[in-house]
Amino acid sequence: MDLDDTAARLGVPVEDIDRVRRLAGDRPSAPLPVKADAPAILARLAVRPDDAAEIMAGWPDLDSTLWTPELRWLLDRSIALVRADLGGHGWLPPGPELPRERGPAWRHLYVYAYLALVDVVRAYHREHGIPDTVSWATLADLGRNLAIDRRMHREGWPVMQSWLTLHARGGLYELGRLQHQRGGTAIALHIPESGPMTPEAVEASLDEARAFFPRHFPDERYTAFSCSSWLLDPQLLEYLPEDSNIVRFQRRFELEPYEEPDGLDGDVEVLRFVFRTLTTPLDQLPRRTVLQRAIVDHLRAGRHWQVHRGRFPI
């Protein structure tokens, strides 16, 4: 293949195409589900009807004029790239950020890759004795993220397309209120947008994880739960009441000395997760909750939010 020509036709940097070619190599891909089965699968993945309709409209049928040879190559090699790291638990971009305004094939290419990997990762789960209910609960984060991306006017997907490779490789599991990511000596906690983060719900999820990982990954040794998030920024204590769920969650952790994380801007992360926007002016953001008012007032005062890391023993 001609890397420069492929990159130009896809409208992405040539080094991004070279990365996919190198990491995927000639490793095996995986087929998409049968198109007739796709609506039921999308429903199990909690994909909303409007997003599902777009995905079905852009389906990569063999006779589809939406799919150029370059797009088909990228889809096939992105699937192979992710599949080659099955069982991995690090951050893994599946491919370059595409110009998604070109249509549903471009907008949802990595969704099709995810769909092709559903059976692959469920087989991995079965090998580890993981119940299918946990598999589907975990994989249904696809629908949640597509809905958030739509709310963000397509601003959110560049992060989400890499995030979702954790689910598709067996690196992350949704157990009750929290998501739990494997790796190292600590289980990394993530907080999906799925309702109140009450202490009771958090504790139940932690208890589930305490039993889950020794049972299904007995060769891995975890001694702590960890988290890296704006939710652990001590500045929140200036604004939120002591009995707030965020404060009670933060109190669980012993924070590490602050170091600015590479590639993460605390202000951007707060806007992404609290308001689901990256471009709305501060004076137009909603102020309905204590947290929303705190975020806006803090930024309007010229101060900045920080992403902190912390942990506590299992």
Query: Could you report the per-residue pLDDT of 155-184, keeping only the tens digit for each?
Result: 888 899 999 999 999 999 999 999 999 999
Query: What is the distance of C-alpha 309 from the center of its chain?
Result: 18
Task: Return the ∠ at Cα 57 (arms to 4 and 133), rounded to 5°.
Answer: 100
**Spatial separation of the C-alpha atoms in residues 38 and 61, rounded to whole Å:** 13
Closest CA to 144 of 243, 27, 48: 48
Query: Could you report the per-residue pLDDT of 123-137, keeping only the tens digit for each?
Result: 999 999 999 999 999
Residue spans of alpha helices (H) in the chain: 3-10, 14-24, 38-44, 49-57, 69-83, 104-107, 109-127, 132-139, 141-151, 157-163, 165-168, 199-216, 245-250, 266-270, 290-300
- Which residues on neighbouring strands pair with residue 188, listed in sequence order? 181, 226
Query: At residue 36, does pLDDT exceed 80?
Result: yes
Q: What is the DSSP letter of 234?
A: G
**Spatial separation of the C-alpha atoms in residues 64 and 48, rounded to whole Å:** 24
User: What is the structure's pLDDT at 157?
Assistant: 82
Query: Could you report the per-residue pLDDT of 85-121, keeping only the tens digit for each?
Result: 999 999 999 999 999 999 999 999 999 999 999 999 9
Cβ within 8 Å of residue 37, ≥6 positions away: none
Which H/E stretch holds residue 276? none
pLDDT > 70: percent of the chain: 100
Burial (CB count within 10 angstroms: exposed 0-12, middle 13-18, buried 19+), residue 171: buried
Query: At residue 314, does pLDDT exceed 90?
Result: yes
Average pLDDT of the chain is 96
Query: Could you report the per-residue pLDDT of 206-262, keeping only the tens digit for each?
Result: 999 999 999 999 999 999 999 999 999 999 999 999 999 999 999 999 999 998 888
- Which residues on neighbouring strands pair with residue 172, listed in sequence order? 181
